[in-house]
Structure 1
Amino acid sequence: MSRDATAEGPAPTGARAAWKARAARLGAAWRRWRVLSLVLAAFVALSAVREISGQDALTASGTVQTMLAFAVPIGLAGLGGLWAERAGIINIGLEGMMVFGTWFGAYAAWTTGDPWAGLAAGILGGTAGGLVHAVATVTFGVDHIVSGVAINILSVGAMRYLSVLYFMEAPGGGAGQSPQLPDFDRVGLPFVADLLQPVRESGRFLAADAAGIVTGLTTGMSVVTLIALLLLPATYAILWRTRFGLRLRSCGENPDAAESLGVNVYGYKYAALAVSGGLAGMGGVFLAMVASSVYQEGQTGGRGYIGLAAMIFGNWRPGGLAMGAGLFGFTDALQIRGQGPAVHALLLLLAGVLLVVVLGAVATAVWRRRLRPLRTAAVALALGAGLGAWYRFTETVPSEVVIASPYIATLLVLALASQRLRPPAGIGRQWRRRSG
């Protein structure tokens, strides 16, 4: 072999190693800032769609406030599921725990006239449901799904009985409804809306949209909404930055290893389910006393299950969970405030998202020299072209699509996110302490 060939041989290897190191650094940076990056990308995309379609409801302050009203109970249920499943317990019973929260919160607020008493009672009611689930699954080894479904069925019947017993004869009450309930205080910075009003009315790209979102987040917010928003970073700090959180998550990953290191696995699972039920109960209180002013039978409307879907979309992480809850709340808010034209504008947004998927799949195929991503690109391109044509040649969407848009969005997001999910390794396991 010649000297030149020998000298030039290591160069490609070195260049490839440098590229791999750079890609690894970029991947680490993306994982660290991906939630913020996705939120900013979604904001820019919404602003662009609003500019093209003229649908100001997409980023209006009223839409943001309505989105929070829909997203908060879903987010609280999802946080409850996050605590339980990080400890290895599947909590299908979140829906029933929310039902406990709605009824007990309403009863305490009605009898005392104090909304904070209602909040405390609703959290305690949900916690009681979580402890029932813990007794069944942790102590007696009942299948997690069976126990959760039983709690959901029990909650509906038990709360119906209590409503007939206590609300039936009350003025304004009934067999499935409580009397009028006291309201929580509203907090905010009203001067911000006055300062940003000229910017909102200007209609400028990005600036007007940012002003609308900031106004919605700083005006007329319920104090319970503020507490719920603060629970997201608090959950992250507790579960990922404390010794308690590390031990709790170890119970969901490998309880045998955790036990061998002296961790009280049963105790941590009980604690996780108590917190899980309390968060779901708080979501129930929000539905009864913030989103509404009375308790009504069937008020949860499946939000416990949707919260689980948002948690799965978020890959069992608080930031991703917040994005999932916000997505569902946003599409539900557009259904209420924007009606068909605003939902019609989302077709353009979905087409743009699919175009990004196409570009990403093609880049992956070129980089990894594989054909499978090209099949994904072809499917995404066909769907994107269909959605683009639907938007171009129509002016609205059928009312049935408007009503179903939150559920369609949830299914689409879960389908797109399914390839990168990694649940806790020990989730759903009927674990027993080793003897001796």
Structure 2
Amino acid sequence: MTTTTDLNQPTRESSAAPAGRRLSLPAVLLIIAGGLALTSLVRIITGADGITNVSQMSTALELAVPIGLAGLGGLWAERAGVVNIGLEGMLILGTWFGAWAGYQWGPWTGVVLGIVGGAIGGLLHAIVTVTFNVNHIVSGVAINILALGATRYLAPLAFEGVEGGTAKQSPPVDSLGDFTVPGLSSALSDLNAHGWFLVSDLAGLLGGLVTNVSWLTLIAVALIPATWWILWRTSFGLRLRSCGENPVAAESLGVNVYKYKYLAVIISGGLAGLGGVFLSIVANPFYLEGQTSGRGYIGLAAMIFGNWMPGGLAIGAGLFGYTDSLNLRGGSENVHALLLLGAILLVIGAVWTAIRKKYVQAAVTFVVGVLVFAWYAGTNEVPNQVVSATPYVITLVVLAFSAQRLRAPKAGGLPYRKGQGK
């Protein structure tokens, strides 16, 4: 006896859902609260008040947005079965097109053209991988190289000789504007300044969300639940995800697999392009060669950390954005304080791993935790090189510890030809 699935009806859970037990929302909130409490305890012990102040959290949010948008783009593509290593290149295209259009015709025009620039990169990736079945990794790397080369060629032609522009930098772009919630922002800042356990840290976190927030940040944050609703609560999303799980079965039920893969990868490029726009208009009011600094790859890591789910991706982007912000605000002192937090978390991880009877992993984790604590206790600061490398180290550590819970779409990266199931 066989059964079929109606792909015209959205489902609450489908075969695209991660296998195994998933954490419930209360459990996730409890973990976040526990992490914030530990961070508050470390702040009090070390005296590094900067790790949770309003300005630190505001900077972290700003740095998390392009990472999150790149990761969101990767999620759309990979849910349709196309691995998108080219996110870095699409970010680069977004930065250039956004600044090029923004300084001439206004920042909002720059936003639109930046999205279009990223979408062009996505379209190219779709043509190469979906139509011609080129290896997805090879195509993505080629797009990264092509985008870098193209913008290096175009930048001198477009910006050199223009007032405020050089061969590697665009003229300034007008601001999109930002907002601060009056009353609430100042109240949270005052509460954060008291230095109370947990309460002040929570005030710092919330204060960063309502102080000097760009309008583009609001759009980026809104795209997280919008993506979840479209992909998990609509028939369009169900068809798209079915292409990433079993395209042959999807085709047998009448789904145009090519169309959905193309749409997903073009949307993926557009979202990455929007992340590039954020870098060249909001984070910096100009295009600057090399300003993406590998955020496309970190966005991909955030998507993997989030188990190809929008909510987990948002948490991952926030974590990586926070560690990146340490470079800008009291980096050495704050990173030194976070060594203690890292040691505590490693010991907790070792205990949890031992409870699950994985004794070898538990022993290794415990030893690493002891070494990190020894590093913290034996020094007063960390080298600047360590501060600069912190986001990338955190990326590797987080992926290493979360790898066992990951479940990628089954058909991700696999070649597909129309009618191959017949």
Please state which band the TM-score falls in when normalised by the shorter chain: over 0.9
Identify the residue that residue 3 of structure 1 maps to in structure 2.
none
> Are the aligned partners of 1:35 and 1:319 in contact in 2 as well (CA < 8 Å)?
no
From 159, 162, 177, give the equivalent of 1:167: 159
Q: Which amino acid in structure 2 is aligned with residue 147 of structure 1?
A: S
Task: Give the Å deviation of 1:325.
Answer: 1.2
Q: Which amino acid in structure 2 is aligned with residue 237 of structure 1?
A: W
From 346, 353, 370, give the equivalent of 1:361: 353
Task: Give the Å deviation of 1:362.
Answer: 2.1
Task: Give the Å deviation of 1:30.
Answer: 3.3
**CA shift in 2, pair 1:280/1:334, >3 Å:** same
From 127, 141, 145, give the equivalent of 2:137: 145
From 244, 249, 253, give the equivalent of 1:252: 244
Deviations 1:1-53 (A, max 9, x none): xxxxxxxxxxxxxxxxxxxxxxxxxx968334443333222211211111111
> Are the aligned partners of 1:57 and 1:334 in contact in 2 as well (CA < 8 Å)?
no
Is 2:99 aligned against 1:110?
A: no
From 169, 175, 180, give the equivalent of 1:177: 169
> Are the aligned partners of 1:248 and 1:268 in contact in 2 as well (CA < 8 Å)?
yes
Alignment of 1:319-334 (within 5 A): 319-334=311-326
Name the CA distance, whole Å, in 1 between partners of 2:70 and 2:24.
25
Name the CA distance, whole Å, in 1 between partners of 2:57 and 2:315.
14
Name the CA distance, whole Å, in 2 between partners of 1:398 and 1:51.
23
Task: Give the Å deviation of 1:399.
Answer: 1.9
Name the CA distance, whole Å, in 2 between partners of 1:131 and 1:189.
39
Deviations 1:165-211 (A, max 9, x none): 22112111121111111111102203112223442222110111111
Deviations 1:37-78 (A, max 9, x none): 332222112111111111111110010111112111111000
Identify the residue that residue 47 of structure 2 maps to in structure 1.
54
Identify the residue that residue 35 of structure 2 maps to in structure 1.
42
Identify the residue that residue 360 of structure 2 maps to in structure 1.
375
More helix, by proportion: 1
Identify the residue that residue 15 of structure 2 maps to in structure 1.
none
Q: Which amino acid in structure 2 is aligned with residue 261 of structure 1?
A: L
The normalised TM-score by structure 1 is 0.89
> Are the aligned partners of 2:99 and 2:170 in contact in 1 as well (CA < 8 Å)?
yes
Identify the residue that residue 189 of structure 1 maps to in structure 2.
181
Name the CA distance, whole Å, in 1 between partners of 2:99 and 2:22.
46
Q: Which amino acid in structure 2 is aligned with residue 332 of structure 1?
A: D
Name the CA distance, whole Å, in 1 between partners of 2:31 and 2:128.
39
Q: Which amino acid in structure 1 is aligned with residue 377 of structure 2?
A: R
Identify the residue that residue 213 of structure 1 maps to in structure 2.
205
Identify the residue that residue 315 of structure 1 maps to in structure 2.
307
Show structure 1 runs of 4+ deviating over 4 A.
Answer: none
Identify the residue that residue 70 of structure 2 maps to in structure 1.
77
Q: Which amino acid in structure 1 is aligned with residue 260 of structure 2?
A: Y
Q: Which amino acid in structure 1 is aligned with residue 56 of structure 2?
A: T
Structure 1 window deviating more from structure 2 (149-158 vs 243-252): it is 149-158
Q: Which amino acid in structure 1 is aligned with residue 143 of structure 2?
A: I
**CA shift in 2, pair 1:430/1:33, >3 Å:** farther
Name the CA distance, whole Å, in 1 between partners of 2:158 and 2:23.
54
Deviations 1:381-422 (A, max 9, x none): 111111122222221112221111111111111110111111
Aligned-residue Cα RMSD (Å) equals 1.5
Is 2:332 aligned against 1:340?
A: yes
From 81, 93, 100, give the equivalent of 1:88: 81
Q: Which amino acid in structure 1 is aligned with residue 393 of structure 2?
A: I
Aligned-pair identity in percent equals 55
Name the CA distance, whole Å, in 2 between partners of 1:181 and 1:400.
32
Alignment of 1:223-238 (within 5 A): 223-238=215-230
Structure 2 unaligned regions, length at least 5: 1-19
Name the CA distance, whole Å, in 2 between partners of 1:380 and 1:347.
15
The normalised TM-score by structure 2 is 0.92
Identify the residue that residue 293 of structure 2 maps to in structure 1.
301
Q: Which amino acid in structure 2 is aligned with residue 404 of structure 1?
A: A
> Are the aligned partners of 1:90 and 1:145 in contact in 2 as well (CA < 8 Å)?
yes
Q: Which amino acid in structure 1 is aligned with residue 387 of structure 2?
A: V
Identify the residue that residue 404 of structure 2 maps to in structure 1.
419
From 98, 103, 107, give the equivalent of 2:91: 98
Classify the secondary structure of the residue corresponding to 1:351.
Answer: helix
The number of residues matched between the two structures is: 402
